[in-house]
Amino acid sequence: MPTPTAPLIDRFGRVHNNLRISVTDRCNIRCTYCMPELVQFLPRQELLTFEEIERFVRVAASQRITKVRLTGGEPLVRRDLPVLVEKLAHVPGIVDVGLTTNGLLLSPMARALFDAGLRRINVSLDTMDPGRFERLTRRPGFEQVIAGILAAREVGFSPVKINAVAIKGETDLDVVPLGRFAREHGLELRFIEYMPLDAGNAWERDKVLLASEILDLLSREIGPLSPAPDQDPRAPAVDYDYLDGGGRVGLIASVSRPFCGSCNRVRLTADGKLRNCLFALEETDVRALIRGGASDDELAAALRDSVAGKWEGHQINAAGFIKPDRLMHSIGG
């Protein structure tokens, strides 16, 4: 295994220790801000195998990656996912394995995932209204998601985080109900500003429900919030605590207050492409390297080169912003 000579640092001095891995581009819902209703998924042979993923994580860990998060598509549609979780949880140097899921399949799988070594879980839920859930996801299943969230709490995940995409004119009415649901069940709620990665090119700046607007709404309707004292300066969310001790809310202001300056993430897509930014326009073909017989040193060099070439930021707020060809489900959430 390659020996790390220095942390993974890009040309702007950002240290990278967080690897997000998409295990599939398939999903059992069709969120309007993520993917089209009709989509051609990758053939199975184009996906990285569990063994290939484990090998790359071992190399990444040797280069001081310490955190891994599994995403999709919907990661729980990948067969035998707890097997992969267990493999990654035992990689030397990896101290944290997390998962982001839409929750539809979570209830029957929560125990197996926890027993495999998963400890952090984020569930995507944008609304507490079943009808609006079906309009946003173009599929039924609201009750299954709620059951999955409660099952995750029951087996011992703590905290369970809820990720809600905030879209003006779509989910405004859901901010307060989500806040109350999270407080009632001891969940950590995180709102994410709507980003230009939708399939229908419907994104407009005016449709972004701003983090500041969400904070004002929660403070007014539920209770005063103040900045959390234990902020992680490299985390994408700015956390706020209710003054009455009733929980925490995170705001990910990807558009209004980009966190690019402290970004510590790299991404590996389900088909083995390494991306140094969610909005990257270039990729490194890790799958081709692995299947072409590349050594661990060559994989480590590819990772270091990708991080070294990272740009300053995604440029959403610049006139020259270019939307990547890949949609969110194909990149990994």
What's the pLDDT tens digit per position in 33-53? Answer: 888 888 889 999 999 999 999
**What per-residue confidence (pLDDT) applies to 233?**
83
More reliable by pLDDT, 201 or 250: 250
Report whether pLDDT(319) > 60. Answer: no
Complete DSSP assignment for 237-291: SEEEEETTS--EEEEE-TTTS--GGG--EEEE-TTSEEESSTT-S--EEHHHHHH
Helix axes 142-155, 175-185, angle to 10 degrees: 30
Of all helices (H) and strands (E), which one includes residue 70? strand 67-71
Confidence at residue 201, expressed as pLDDT on a 0 to 100 scale: 66
- Say if residue 227's pLDDT is above 70: yes
Work out the pLDDT band at 199, boundaries 50, 70, 90: low
Residue 148 in marked binding region: no
Domain count, the chain: 1
Residues 6+ apart with CB under 8 A from 290: 48, 52, 55, 56, 272, 299
- Name the pTM for this structure: 0.94
Can you give the pLDDT at residue 285? 98
Residue 22 marked ligand-binding? no
User: Is residue 1 assigned to a domain?
Assistant: no
Q: CA 192, 42, 112, 66 torsion: positive or negative? A: negative
CATH number at residue 55: 3.20.20.70
pLDDT of residue 324: 67
Domain assignment present for residue 2? The answer is: no
pLDDT band at 8 (very low <50, low <70, confident <90, very high): very high
178 lies in a domain?
Answer: yes
The reply to whether 119 sits in an annotated binding site is no
Q: What is the per-residue pLDDT for 200?
A: 64
Q: Does 79 appear as a known binding residue?
A: no
176 assigned ligand-binding residue: no
- Residue-averaged pLDDT of the chain: 92
Percent pLDDT > 70 in the chain is: 92
Q: Is 287 annotated as a binding residue?
A: no
Statement: residue 278 has pLDDT above 90: no
Say if residue 69 carries a ligand binding annotation. yes
pLDDT for the residue numbered 192: 93
Q: Report whether pLDDT(63) > 60.
A: yes
Range of the domain at 140: 8-331
Whether residue 250 is annotated as binding a ligand: the answer is no
Q: Tell whether 3 is covered by a domain.
A: no
266 is in an annotated binding site: yes
Question: Percent of the chain, pLDDT > 90?
Answer: 75
Is 100 annotated to bind ligand?
yes
Classified as helix, coil or strand, 203 is coil
- The secondary element (H helix, E strand) that includes residue 121 is strand 120-124
Give tens-digit pLDDT for 243-258: 999 999 999 988 888 7
148 in a structural domain: yes
Question: Is 124 known to sit in a ligand binding site?
Answer: yes
Look at residue 110 in the predicted model and tell me its pLDDT.
98
Given this model, what pLDDT does residue 34 score? 81
pLDDT surpasses 80 at 307: yes
In the structure, what pLDDT confidence band is assigned to residue 5 with cuts at 50, 70 and 90? low
Q: Is residue 17 part of a domain?
A: yes
> Binding residue per annotation — 58?
no
Q: 33 labelled as ligand-binding?
A: yes
Question: Could you read off the pLDDT of 103-157 as tens digits, one per residue?
Answer: 999 999 999 999 999 999 999 999 999 999 999 999 999 999 999 999 999 999 9
234 is in an annotated binding site: no
DSSP bridge pairs for 267: 20, 275
Q: What is the pLDDT of residue 29?
A: 95
How far apart, in whole angstroms, are the C-alpha atoms of residue 190 and residue 162? 6
User: Is residue 26 a known part of a binding site?
Assistant: no
| pLDDT of residue 205 exceeding 90 | no
